[in-house]
Amino acid sequence: MRALPRLAIAALLVAIPAAAVTVTVAAHAADDPTPITVLTSDFEDGTVQGWSGRSAETVAHSTAQAHGGTGSLLVSGRTAAWQGPSLDVLGTFEKGTAYTISVWVRMASGSDNARLSVERRAGGVAAYDQVVGNTAVTSGSWVNLTGRYTLASDVEFLRVYVETSSTTGSLHIDDVTASYVPALPIQTGIPSVKDVVTEFPVGAAITGAEIVTEHGQLLNKHFDSVTPGNALKWDATEPSENNFTYAQADPLMAYAKANNLAVRGHTLVWHNQTPSWVFTGADGQPMTATAEDKELLLARLENHIRNVAAHYGTDIGVWDVVNEVIDESQSDGNRRSSWYNVTGLDYIRTAFRVAREVAPHAKLCINDYNTNVAAKRDHLFNLVSTLKAEGVPIDCVGHQMHINVNWPTIADTESMLTKFIPLNIDQQITEMDVSIYTSNSENFTTPPADRLLKQAYVYRDMFALFRKYPAEITSVTLWGLADDNTWLDTFPVTRKDAPLLFDTRLQAKQAYWGVVDPSKIETSPSPSSPSASVSTSVSPSVSVSPSASVSPSTGTSACAVTYRITGSWPGGFQGEVKVGNTGTTALTGWNLNWQFTGGQKITQLWGGSPVQTGAAVTVTNASWNGNLPAGGSTTFGFLGSWTGTNPVPAAFTVNGTACAVL
């Protein structure tokens, strides 16, 4: 139901009094996806509404600029880029709840990049979480920063703040809001993925807050293993030379241990998320292929692996020792990273040798993406063959499997697996997700039903393939737990993606059923996606173009409605409704009404705009299918939820007139 939440947010914001307030709406149905606003600062009352600076900068109410209304907050006298407006949200933000924070920013003069962050302190130690990264801001217009934030641990200090990246000019902020969609309990009555897929352990990558509240329950219910998504990378564990810190990873590791989850260690050596000091020579210059630089870099590498792998000992049973070393656009297949440029292939040899010494119990993997692409696969195969022949202790090949609903084919994926069988090593699927997008230019605010269906087929077919190779595949890990937290929301472009088995409210998707019980997936022909419907302008069954001149109707035409359930699975279903004009006058717009008698709820609809109040549903035509000539018809589709029974509605009206039910 796309239109409803937006209207509801707008209504809520309008209703909020002008002062800085913390609003908690108590009476809220647990399954209602309408966001609840917990803070709003509009600076319309002439005060700073609780905001202050982060140090000695001046914070004042201002009428020089306003995003909405007549007031904003002005921060001046900044002497460092990190200084900026900040608000206490301790007691406002609860642990484990994902808040969407939005702030409008405008420079008073000049331009810079602005960031939105949260500072939290526990036991007197501060940590800084970026909510929205560098975003260009100027004095010419307001810029919105919106991001999601989930507090993962207990704190004694919690403030949101805006800072800039380089200059110290004055800046305005306005119309700040934070809201959340109430969590739904996880579904406990459905099979656990790990109980259904028994050929190998199944895991999920997590990036922090997935170990608290409902996320933790979902993780425990469905998965055998966990991969810290960022917490074991070099920038997290050794941010400056020989200064090892495990503040990010230790809570995840403790959780894994307490909950009997195996851990994949990701990753010891990569070209990304590695601090620049690593590649800076003793002379302060970027390293080059000299003997001194090579020696220093390999020594740093050895020191890093010795410390990190030793810190966790046998708690980590598998390590991605090196990550993404192949570049198939190079004729030799070797990625020209700083690692390679300075040491050749010796960084890989050193990494595996040291990892084996420090973690002799652990499976040691070489991990890469697009290994289903023949050229990449073959370079990886050749490299592993060569290194293994030299005695480099590589135990496993990790296939990341960041794929999408259209790509790759099962055949190519099977060739990827069979290629490595002669090497007699383990294979692991390490970072699987299935994007709903097939190009960088697509952008859906809500995942279209046909993409989710395709995705379910992909998960079904890929898991069926993996399960054919139980002797080779020793684990399958998904790169995330649920669609509310996926790296694909910002990669390769910023847009909402939905690549995992559980939706943004942690409920099982068709993708989940694709893995767990494909007989429960929708089997009728794919519905058309909203974008496909829009691009055809008119539904194929409408016989006039939107511009055809028809005489307006007051809605007295006779009508016929066909309501079909085209697919059904536990808790969800897909429907199709045909609206026919059987009268003698053309309709220039239609409103279809019915009552659900089984407590069903529409969750998404294409080809019209739905409003549901309790059992009563009203669907209004989309812009392109409102014209229904006499004898014409149009069809729209929807997804809904149900429990118990899912009866077909008995009666329909179009523009207030009762229709024949066909």
Please name which of 470, 380, 359 lies closest in space to residue 423, comparing C-alpha atoms: 380
At 155, is the secondary structure helix, strand, or coil? coil
Do residues 241 and 264 lie in contact, with contact meaning Cβ atoms separated by under 8 Å? no
**400 versus 539: smaller Cβ distance to ligand XIL:** 400
Given 112, 224, 293, 368, the catalytic residue:
368
Q: Answer yes or no whether residue 474 interacts with ligand XIL by CB under 6 A.
A: no
Which residue is catalytic, options 431, 472, 497, 522? 431
Residues whose CB falls within 8 Å of the CB of residue 364, separated by 6 or more in sequence, listed in order: 318, 319, 321, 352, 355, 356, 393, 394, 395, 396
Of 82, 244, 469, 487, which lies in the binding site for ligand XIL, with binding defined by CB under 6 A?
487
Catalytic residue among 57, 324, 433, 483: 324
Cα–Cα distance between 56 and 78 in angstroms, integer?
8
DSSP single-letter state for residue 482: S
Kindly state the smallest distance separating residue 230's Cβ from ligand XIL, in Å: 5
373 with 413: CB under 8 angstroms? no
- 158-197 footprint of ligand XIL as x/- string (CB under 6 A): ----------------------------------------
CB nearer to ligand XIL: give 370 or 646: 370
Question: For residues 207 and 634, which CB has a smaller minimum distance to ligand XIL in the complex?
Answer: 207
Question: CA angle, 233 as apex, 471 and 221 as ends, to 5°?
Answer: 55
Please give the residues from 423 up to 442 whose contact with ligand XIL meets the rule CB under 6 A. Answer: 431
Minimal distance in Å, beta carbon 398 to ligand XIL?
9
Distances (CA, A) of 639 to 35, 206, 446: 20, 29, 12
Q: Which of 398, 399, 320 is nearest to 359 (CA)?
A: 320
How many residues make contact with ligand XIL (CB under 6 A)? 8
Q: Which of residues 369-398 bind ligand XIL (CB under 6 A)?
A: 369
Would residue 94 show up in a list of annotated catalytic residues for this protein? no
616-621 and 608-613 strand pairing: antiparallel
* E-strand stretches of 473-615: 473-478, 559-569, 572-581, 591-595, 601-606, 608-613
Q: Which is nearer to ligand XIL, 42 or 431 (CB)?
A: 431
CA distance 297 to 374: 32
CB closest to ligand XIL, residue no:
487
Residues 508-547 that bind ligand XIL (CB under 6 A): none
The residue from 400, 428, 600, 604 that contacts ligand XIL (CB under 6 A) is: 400
Reported residue count of the chain is 662
Select 42 or 368, whichever has its Cβ closest to ligand XIL.
368
In whole angstroms, the minimum distance from the beta carbon of 323 to ligand XIL comes to 5
Task: Check if the beta carbon of residue 76 is closer than 8 Å to that of residue 70.
Answer: no
156 as an active site residue: the answer is no
As measured in angstroms, the least distance from the Cβ of 133 to ligand XIL is 10
CB of residue 489 vs ligand XIL: minimum separation in angstroms? 10
Residue 266 Cβ, how far from ligand XIL at the closest point, in Å? 6
Q: Please identify, using beta-carbon distances, which residue of 57 and 238 lies nearer to ligand XIL.
A: 238
Q: Any contact of residue 229 with ligand XIL (CB under 6 A)? A: yes
Tell me how far apart the alpha carbons of residues 219 and 126 are, in angstroms, rounded to a whole number.
Answer: 28
Question: Minimum distance from CB of 538 to ligand XIL (Å)?
Answer: 42
The minimum distance between CB 268 and ligand XIL, in angstroms, equals 12
**Choice from 102, 153, 230, 568 touching ligand XIL (CB under 6 A):** 230
Choice from 207, 510, 529, 553 touching ligand XIL (CB under 6 A): 207
Contacts of ligand XIL in 305-344 (CB under 6 A): 323
Residue 507 interacting with ligand XIL (CB under 6 A): no
Query: Any idea what the Cα angle at residue 438 is, between residues 222 and 451, rounded to 5°?
Result: 55
3-state secondary structure 602-649: EEEEECEEEEEECCEEEEEECCCCCCECCCCEEEEEEEEECCCCCCCC
* Residue among 235 and 517 whose Cβ is closer to ligand XIL: 235
Find out whether 3 and 611 touch, Cβ atoms under 8 Å: yes
Q: What is the DSSP string of 81-121?
A: TT---EEE-BTTBPTT-EEEEEEEEEESSSEEEEEEEEEEE
Answer yes or no: 431 catalytic.
yes
Q: Which is nearer to ligand XIL, 208 or 640 (CB)?
A: 208
CA torsion sign, 472 to 475 to 480 to 482?
Answer: positive
Closer to ligand XIL by Cβ: residue 222 or 402:
402
- Could you tell me the two tokens for 39? 């803070």
Between 28 and 336, name the residue whose CB sits nearer to ligand XIL.
336
| First-to-last C-alpha distance (Å) of the chain | 26
Q: Closest separation between CB of residue 466 and ligand XIL, Å?
A: 19
Q: How far is the CB of 199 from ligand XIL (least distance, A)?
A: 24
**Identity (one letter) of the amino acid at 580?**
G
Q: Report the residue number, 212 or 366, with the smaller CB distance to ligand XIL.
A: 366
Instruction: Tell me how far, at minimum, the Cβ of 339 lies from ligand XIL, in Å.
Output: 15
CB 156 within 8 A of CB 122: yes
Under a CB-based contact definition with an 8 Å cutoff, are residues 573 and 603 in contact? no
Q: What is the C-alpha separation between 234 and 310, in angstroms, rounded?
A: 15
Catalytically annotated residues: 324, 368, 431
Using CB under 6 A, list all residues that contact ligand XIL.
Answer: 207, 229-230, 323, 369, 400, 431, 487
